[in-house]
Structure 1
Amino acid sequence: MSSRANIGPATAKQITLPKPMSQRDTRLDVLRALALIMIFINHVPGQIFEFMTSKNFGFSDGAEAFVLISGISVGLAYGTRFSPGNRLSVAWKAVRRAFTLYTAHMITTFVTLVLFISGAWIFQQKGLLCEVNILALLMDPAGGIPALLTLGHQIGYNNILPMYAALFLMLPLIMLLEARSPLLLLLVSAGVWLVSGIYYIAPHTTLLEGFWFLNPLSWQFLFVIGFAACMHVKKGGRISAHPALIALAAVYVFVSFVWVTDKLWVLGDYLAMLGLPTVITGFDKTFLSLPRLLHVLALAYLIVSVPAISQFLRRTAHHPLTILGRHSLNIFVAGTILAMAGQVLLYVTNKSPVVGAIYVVIGVTAQFLYAYHLENRRLQAAGQRSAKIPEGAATMVAPVAKRP
């Protein structure tokens, strides 16, 4: 942030423009990249790498990590800009982002349809038409196409972006509540999460009976927690690294690890006997049950509070994981398309473990290469913008650029 002090002619040349990328917290990019890789691997089920992702070692998985990180990132990108006189502009940007996500979802959805239908025709594997919720669409195309366009029907493994787009539509209200009171925002968000989970309030699907796979009314709570935490730090607060809380988080992560690896799901029946709602005692992903929510928050607290973990994740701006995470939406779209192609390949090869493993390695490598391509384009565009700056202007901070 630039100084509030007046800049006189004698001192203007001594002040240089800030370098936003050098100030970027690369931990978010690295964690986002790891979440994207795990989501891709999990979306190509039936190969050996799937058993190495985080979902096999705790209650939450890459989706929870991605949404929490997104909430933090939105706080960095939008939070302080949402000020009186600028609120409509920032709200409109959030809405535009939601439509960008909707467009990305439509791209992955229709490419998925092409891949599975083409695979069924080319390889004479009609069973592909029964995969990932495609059959209902083919049996009723007149109702199915409108359902796809209105998000009333979602293809399997193509259900994160609709929830994410809905969160951006909620963002103006989220920012408005945070501006009034962060505590009020958290209480309202928690209330919506709890009521939605107890009474099963969620967007309904229209082509098939049911709900969206990821209910935005539930997942907004995790998003809001990330957003509120980011805004708290940006306003001068800090997240206290209390030894008791660190120990509690570590114990919870360990219990979750033992629970999942030893398959102690029968213990969930004893929790159900307490008579509490399943959103409190269950492990449902659609309504983001409490054990899943607490697990990702415990992991996040350990990352923030334990210096060794935090420093390990802090990589340079040119690290491959940093670059991959920096271009998250493009990589997510590419990863989803690659995953759908991988599912077709595994289906026609009877889930060959060798083919699956090789394909995942190739798919992850392709995503890194694509990320480097996007990064080169970004740097070239930045270089062209810099070349257009008049000589001498790059060493000054123009008065209009100053912000409090």
Structure 2
Amino acid sequence: MSRIAWLDMLRGYALLCIMLNHMPLGWLRQFTLGNFAVFDAAELFVLLSGFLVGLVWIKVEAQDGRRTAQWRFLRRAAQVWLALVIGGVLLALLSRGLFALGLNHTAIWSEYARWIVTYPLPYIGTLALLWMQPNLLDVLALYVILLGLAPVTVPMLLNRPLWFGAGSLALWLAAVPLNAALPNQRVEGGLLFNPFGWQMLFFAGVAMGAFRRRFMPALLRRAGWITALAAGVSLYSLGMAALWRLGPGGKRLADVMWNAVGVVDKWSLDGVRFAAIIAASWLVAVPCAPALAMMAGTRLGRAAALIGRGGLFSFVACVLLSVLGDALAMNPPGAGALRRICIDIWTIAALWLLSFLWMNRPGRRRQMPARA
């Protein structure tokens, strides 16, 4: 199926944000998404992934039947699981090598470097069983679960969208105790990215992709009101994220805005963050779509889109590069702004190059379908 260039560009931007956000001393991280909204690249990436699942499912089911679509996403879940295991091993080995060279880093937990050498088989086994999810790669465990259940859940969503939405909301409301009951390495129990909470954002994306042709005409007839509401939510989100930079007065106003909505928890997908990303998605898809299409045609837009099309490979690469960039920025200590900017630019260029090589590897089919 034909690709939407600006969606690939947004996926690439999300990956760049994830990479830069995981480099504590990075200079360019001040321009990532979380600086301008109450949500961050994680919400953007999960929503876009769900949207692509909806797009691809509808296309595959129409052409080849539901069974083919179900098998496709089972295979995709297996690929994500394999990427989690391989990525976890590479992450630990990279950390071990950096420590051996005397290059300290804080982007990931240092114990992984010890476990991969001292307990290699138990380390790999805990990764494979999802008992442990190394930080920076932990969102992949969420994808394994959501995609593994997609052959059952997506047909339910397509057949009974209102009932499915009610059930998804109920799971989200009970997400914290349900996640805590899951056996896991964490003292708190459960996964860091709470699957009972984040499923609501993922399936909201699936519904957007699957039902967009059915519902968009009706929504566009009320575009003025919806855009005004979405803009208001987005401005509030921007105020929460950015007003503190404007001095004591701005910080006081930001504190009032935060206190008005209460505790905003990322890991169980807080309602404030959910509302903010849904509002932003409307602005992106409707009033801002022409501008984003123009941006996707620029050199920078095409470069970001290439990274976005790299999918799992680009995600694992961005995680590994964030650890390497973190180590380069920390050693020797006291790096100035210019050096940190150069390291940031180097990691971005390296991610683009790796994505380019991956997308142009020998044997890859010239025309690839959109991947969820």
TM-score by length of 1: 0.77
Q: Which residue of 2 aligns with 1:366?
A: 350
Whole-Å Cα distance in 2 between the matches of residues 109 and 181 of structure 1?
38
CA contact (8 A) 2:5 2:305 kept: yes
Q: Which residue of 2 aligns with 1:327?
A: 310
CA contact (8 A) 1:331 1:367 kept: yes
Tell me, yes or no, if structure 1 residue 243 matches structure 2 residue 238. Answer: no
Equivalent position to 1:36, from 5, 8, 15: 15
Sort the Cα spacing of 1:174 and 1:164 in 2 relative to 1 into closer, same or farther, 3 A. same
Q: Which residue of 2 aligns with 1:58?
A: 37
Sort the Cα spacing of 1:120 and 1:33 in 2 relative to 1 into closer, same or farther, 3 A. same
Sort the Cα spacing of 1:93 and 1:356 in 2 relative to 1 into closer, same or farther, 3 A. same
Mean CA deviation greater in 318-327 or 32-41: 318-327
Aligned ranges for residues 5-404 of structure 1 at < 5 Å?
20=1, 23-82=2-61, 86-123=65-102, 125=104, 132-135=108-111, 138=114, 141=119, 144-197=123-176, 201=180, 203-206=182-185, 208-235=187-214, 237-238=216-217, 239-240=219-220, 241-263=222-244, 264-265=254-255, 267-269=257-259, 271-272=261-262, 282-306=263-287, 309-314=288-293, 315-316=296-297, 319-350=302-333, 352=335, 353-377=337-361, 381-382=365-366
Whole-Å Cα distance in 2 between the matches of residues 94 and 249 of structure 1?
32
CA drift at 1:196: 0.9
CA contact (8 A) 2:329 2:343 kept: no
CA drift at 1:265: 4.4
Whole-Å Cα distance in 2 between the matches of residues 104 and 165 of structure 1?
10
CA drift at 1:81: 3.1
Identity %: 24
CA drift at 1:60: 0.6
Answer with 1 or 2: which has the greater Rg: 1
TM-score by length of 2: 0.83
Across the aligned residues of Structure 1 and Structure 2, the Cα RMSD in angstroms comes to 3.0
Sort the Cα spacing of 1:270 and 1:305 in 2 relative to 1 into closer, same or farther, 3 A. closer
CA contact (8 A) 1:202 1:212 kept: no
**Secondary structure class of the residue paired with 1:170:** helix
Task: Give the structure with the larger helix fraction.
Answer: 2
Sort the Cα spacing of 1:362 and 1:176 in 2 relative to 1 into closer, same or farther, 3 A. same
CA drift at 1:59: 0.8
Sort the Cα spacing of 1:339 and 1:124 in 2 relative to 1 into closer, same or farther, 3 A. closer
Q: Match for 1:323: what amino acid?
A: L
CA drift at 1:373: 2.8
Structure 2 unaligned runs (5+)? 245-253
Whole-Å Cα distance in 2 between the matches of residues 181 and 283 of structure 1?
31
